[in-house]
Every structure is written in C-alpha cells, then in structure tokens.
Amino acid sequence: MAFAFFRERLGARSDWSRSLSGGVLLYRGGAAPFPQVPGEPPWYRRPSTIGSRTTSSFAMVALSLLVVLAAWLAARFLRERGVSMPVRQASVGVGFAALVGLLLALLPPTTGPGDFPAGLLWDYRLSSLGTLLTLWATLGATFGALCERANRKEGTG
C-alpha cells in the first residue's frame, strides 16, 4: 500500500530503484532506535522490564519512521524549490540526524547490561543490526524484482 502511494512520488526512474530506496529508508527508520534500545539477548534481563523496553523500542521505530517521512517531504519540497542536490542532501541529512538525536534524548534510556559478558552482548547487537539489514535488503530486492517482472509482462501484453 505504501509503495503504491509513493510510487510516482519517488525520484527514482524504475520500480526496482524505488523498491531498493524504500528498503533503505525503512532500514534507516528501523535502525534509528538502536543506540537507545539496542538489540539484547532476551535471557539476560529481568522479565519485569520486557514491557517497558518493548514499548520504548516500538515508540522509537514509529517516531523514526515519521522522521524518515518528514525527511522525504523536506527533500521533495527543496527539490521543487530548485535547491541543488548536494545542498538538499546535506540539509536533509543534518535535519534527519538532529531529529533522531532529539528522539533519542527524549525517550527514556534503557538500563545497562550489568555483569553480562561484553563480547557476547556486542556480537548479539551486531547480529541484530545484520538481521535488520538482511530483512530490508531482501524485501526491497524481492519486491523490486517482482515489480519489474510485472512491468515487463504488462509491456508485452
């Protein structure tokens, strides 16, 4: 549904590029809460904190996706006003980083891992980011390939 809405509004020339761009944007939005609510092994925390950590994480993902939408709208607004691409990219990038930083500052921090082994925690967190990257890259590429295939079929029929 979101792709159908944004399809003609994105600057990319093909559905493949649009789909990959969408995957990148959703990865950015999904990874934004990572400094505040990083991936953590479920077995090392007390069960009493699961609800607050989950709420914090989902709130940050939802808010960061709104920041991604705001960044896209700002880039579109600047493009329509004739602002050059380097200035537009720098402005939107700085604005995105500032808004995500503000969100990270406003949301309550998570508690530290305590005496949990640092190496194991680091490996788990890197795996969490890698899994998120794999998810959005696979979804973007698969959806883009299916869109391109559908476009070829429409063009021949």
**Per-residue model confidence as pLDDT tens digits over 137-156:** 898 889 888 888 888 887 75
How far is Cα 44 from Cα 82, in angstroms, rounded to an integer? 52
24/96 Cα distance (integer angstroms): 14
Higher model confidence: residue 69 or residue 40?
A: 69
Phi then psi for 116, rounded to 5 degrees? -70, 140
Burial degree of 37 (CB within 10 A; 0-12, 13-18, 19+): buried
pLDDT tens for 101-123 read: 898 888 777 666 667 777 887 88
Angle, helices 15-31 vs 118-156, to 10°: value is 160
H helices of 32-117, where?
50-80, 85-106
- Predicted model pTM: 0.69
Average pLDDT over residues 21-38: 75
Can you tell me whether residue 81 is helix, strand or coil? Answer: coil
What span, in angstroms and rounded, lies between the C-alpha atoms of 24 and 3? 13
